[in-house]
Amino acid sequence: MAQSYFVIGTDTNVGKTYVASRLVQHFAQLGLKAIGMKPIASGCEPGEQGELQNEDVIALSNASNVAAPKNLINPYYFAPAIAPHIAAEQAAVVISLDAIVNAYQQLTTLAEVVIVEGAGGFFVPLNQTQTLADLAVQLNIPIILVVGIRLGCINHALLTVEAIKARGLTLAGWVANEIDPNSRMFEENLTSLQQRIAAPCLSVVRWQGTALFDFASL
């Protein structure tokens, strides 16, 4: 069975793709067949051939050392950079968690490591009744939480951690990513999170800084 991780965030634009890509690269450098998966991508633009492309999907594919069909790597993709369920409704598409899980399972037959990147926060709706949290339950793989360090991040992070625990899921680790260059009390916020999250902090990334990851605990 493939070694897999589900990279989620406390919100959108907190650095999930960066962390997920680094994870794929890490396992590839260990000599393992590693691939990234982005089940749902909003904010796609036409490529040279007119097909919709997404920057996150491209970044994950560039980090991977295994080739796979696009419909497995990115089953659902939409042009508007809006919430997935709204984008799907506008496109007259219903996002199926079963279809995503099936695509993931096929990827596990091609690679030894599959890194799945979520969309938005943990409770972002995917259809009329299900959220990303429901997808996490169906995948049932360890989670890596990317915390966007800014005002309010402590509450967002701890609520997400509680939600992960409540569903019986495993939080393998978390990453502190400074996303606001004008944020105050960075060290104090970081210390507060380290004291309250019972999972290893895999990296601390300062604003536009170089990230050093400690993946030894994974």
Q: Give catalytic residues, as residue numbers.
A: 38
> What DSSP state is assigned to residue 160?
H
DSSP string, 95-147: --HHHHHHHHHHHHTT-SEEEEE--SSTT-BSSSS-BHHHHHHHH---EEEEE
CA–CA distance, 211 with 72 (Å, rounded to integer): 29
Q: Give the H or E element holding residue 190.
A: helix 186-196
Q: Give the H or E element holding residue 24.
A: helix 16-29
> What DSSP state is assigned to residue 216?
T
H helix runs in 30-116, sequence order: 55-63, 70-73, 84-90, 97-108
Residue carrying structure tokens 């997935």? 84
